[in-house]
Amino acid sequence: MTGTLSFEPDDRFNAFLTTCRKVSHGSGRLAGIPVAVKDNISTQGIETTCASKILKGYIPPYDAHVVRLLKEAGAAIVGKTNMDEFGMGTTTENSAFGPTLNPLDTSRVPGGSSGGSAAAIAAGMVPMALGTDTGGSIRCPAAFCGIVGLKPSYGRVSRYGLIAYANSLEQIGPMAKTVTDVSTLYSVIAGHDPRDSTSYDRSYNHIPSVEIKGLKIGIPQEYFGKGVDPAVGNVVQKAIGTLEQLGATTIPCTIPSMEYALAAYYVICTSEASSNLARFDGVRYGPAADVKKSWHDAYRDVRRAGFGEEVRRRIMLGTFALSSGYYGKYYAKAQVARENVRADFSRIFSKVDVIAGPTMPTTAFRLKEKSDPLSMYLSDILTVPANLAGIPSISVPCGKVAGMPVGLQIMGRHFDDERVIDVAYAYEQAVRA
């Protein structure tokens, strides 16, 4: 299929930062299908800002690996979506270019940091989009907007061309209205890329199946405990009951390391952010520094003007955790806690095939409800363990509480993305029947 697509979205929700009015497309698996791309993924000739003032006007000279694959599949890349600045947030309110609104209730957030991608899908502007997930940034907005979002196994999708926030945690992943569309988009972007040293030779050529009879599902007690809205927990328990009706067996389990997972995640991700964002100095990236000033003053002024409050906060936290005298107290201990999380998942997966629970502890927050950073960080408690362990995790809509969507989260063994997608697909088809 060839031609020209004119894309003029009714973007009342501030889902897009940049739109491509005319996009050529050709033949391929995604021929002519509109696809949105999160604004921290490099697109040749299209502004890529990470929703930050410091990158305003930056136009990458190359495509990210996933973008090149989209083009080869014939996709029509129609724009770059809004996000929390550099991926740092759970609400998409931290964007330098204004918050994205939840299309299901504009008084609420769409989740973050891939909120623009989720909102664009939920509003019907695009059928599918790319997001990124460092600690839940695909699954959170998927849950809040009532769509499907997959965080792939670490290494199955190339990170080449992704503007890094926390290298050891983040993954690019597909978002769409249905599990089938997520699977289709995933089949295009997964696979080895020699330019990414973390990339594995594991392509995805799977057709989702509804057959889950005999499947063993672990139900961690921590995913239904303190901090989880009982109404959300009840909806998810009902969804798990549907999986049991399809022939799956549930097995109670515990993840003791959950007690330290969130703290470990925020030490690790802010430390990596401190290192990754050092390049935005007015020399390599960012607005040109004032060469008449001392290097220290010029560096400070560029970053103070270019970075938002949350980004500056995380850089300072990470710099502190890595500093002399504190590295062992914080960063090294966080890595030990991360290994404990991995060990817990390994132990559980020796007895079960997948793990299920809520994606988020609550439904979508109201705008400005999470003005206290700590309360926002605590909302990531159910999503960050999968990132620490590098395992696949998908969020699929499973009901509503007070009119707002709830997400069922399904996690699997590393590289067992196919099984995770099958379970989500089986649930989706069962409730649609």
Active-site residue identified among 137, 153, 158, 187: 137
Which tokens go with 160? 């080449």
Contact 217, 248 (CB under 8 A): yes
Inter-CA distances, 304 with 293, 309, 329, Å: 15, 9, 28
Which tokens go with 66? 């996933």
Query: Can 370 be counted among the known catalytic residues?
Result: no
Active-site residue identified among 38, 71, 80, 151: 38
CA dist., res. 151 & res. 386, Å (int):
9
Which tokens go with 406? 């709830």
Query: Can 38 be counted among the known catalytic residues?
Result: yes
**Four-point Cα dihedral 29, 31, 36, 40, nearest 10:** 60
Active-site residue identified among 113, 117, 183, 379: 113
Contact 131, 124 (CB under 8 A): no
Phi and psi at residue 145, to the nearest 5°: -105, 0
Contact 387, 356 (CB under 8 A): no
CA dist., res. 250 & res. 215, Å (int):
8
CA dist., res. 142 & res. 152, Å (int):
14
CA dist., res. 416 & res. 413, Å (int):
5
Bridge partners, residue 393, by sequence: 151, 411
The candidate with the shortest Cα–Cα distance to 29, out of 189, 200, 193, is: 189
Catalytic residue numbers, as ranges = 38, 113, 137
